[in-house]
Amino acid sequence: MKRIILSFIFFFALNVQASTVPASKKEYVNLWSDIAVEQMMLHNVPASITLAQGILESGSGTSKLAIEGNNHFGIKCHGWTGKAIYLDDDEKGECFRVYDNAKESYEDHSKFLTENKRYNSLFELSISDYQGWANGLKTSGYATNPKYADQLISLIEELNLSEYDSQTGTSLASLNLLIDDLEASNNLKHSVLIKENKVKYVIARKGDTFYRISKEFEIGLWQLYRYNDFDENKDILKEGDIVYIYPKRKWSKKKFMETKRSMSLREFSQEEAINLKKLMKINEITNPDEILVKGEKVILR
């Protein structure tokens, strides 16, 4: 179901011609906004930030790196085994990643941010906090230009890019306010619980559905699917299921935890509110449904 929904929403976006070169910032936004929103849905990187970085790093798609390397974000070759192009930047002849098309550049940009620990703090911010994201990128060392954050913020406000951050449903900041308001007025049907790492969730009741919970909290179905790592064939909730209404963390203060019982990594992820894909990567596990014995150590960071 998740794949069908995403495929339907982005059917036309996936057919954008990578060879198209926009002539202005607005044309760049028109060309790549759907892909930026898609990446936000998949990886929680604000579309406004992605678009502003793309404009700034690629000269609205007209730079040599963008045209010859399909690289819209100035990502260098660190840890890269694919094609490369050498251009002068901070130093002469620096190595930059080359992609088969610009959409691959957008995908790699999201992975670059989600998989590098120095950007972990960004994902604690609201999707709508573009100023926090811009300053966080600069502080984390994404660019050496001291005015980098100001440039991103200026582009976002000039082109009203923040409107794309709200295209996928309720923002995390709005969701927090909604939860607080509903709890205060005793109108909330499900009690909102909070994990040790501050991820909010509810416990499914008999007869609950993803749709019912999404409507209660005014968030999109896609958000519930993304926030929870159930098997993709699971469409019906059972009583007692943990259902997250907030994204799981991609890191933990603890280095590892031991399983309390025989369970799969998928079940562990759902119980501990830690992103499944991240756990699979750092524990070098390819099958999330493989059973772990009781007391087995699971690396968390």
**For residue 226, what pLDDT is reported?**
84
- pLDDT tens, 68-104? 999 999 898 988 888 999 988 767 888 999 999 999 9
Digit-coded pLDDT (tens) for 127-146: 889 999 999 999 998 888 89
Q: Looking at the structure, do residues 149 and 10 belong to the same domain, yes or no?
A: yes
pLDDT tens digit sequence for 208-238: 888 888 888 888 777 888 888 887 666 678 8
Last residue in a domain, options 149, 166, 183: 166
Same domain, 7 and 151: yes
CA distance 49 to 134: 7
Predicted TM-score (pTM) of the model is 0.52
* Domain range enclosing 138: 2-166
| Residue 161 and residue 12 share a domain | yes
Q: Is residue 251 part of a domain?
A: no
Residue 294: pLDDT over 50: yes
CA distance linking residue 77 with residue 99, whole number of Å: 12
pLDDT band at 177 (very low <50, low <70, confident <90, very high): low
The predicted-structure confidence for 231-283, as pLDDT tens digits, reads as follows 766 667 888 999 999 899 887 888 889 998 999 999 999 999 999 999 999 99
On whether both 187 and 224 belong to a single domain, the answer is yes
Q: Are residues 9 and 156 in the same domain?
A: yes
Q: What integer best gives the mean pLDDT of the chain? A: 83
pLDDT of 3 over the 50 cut: no
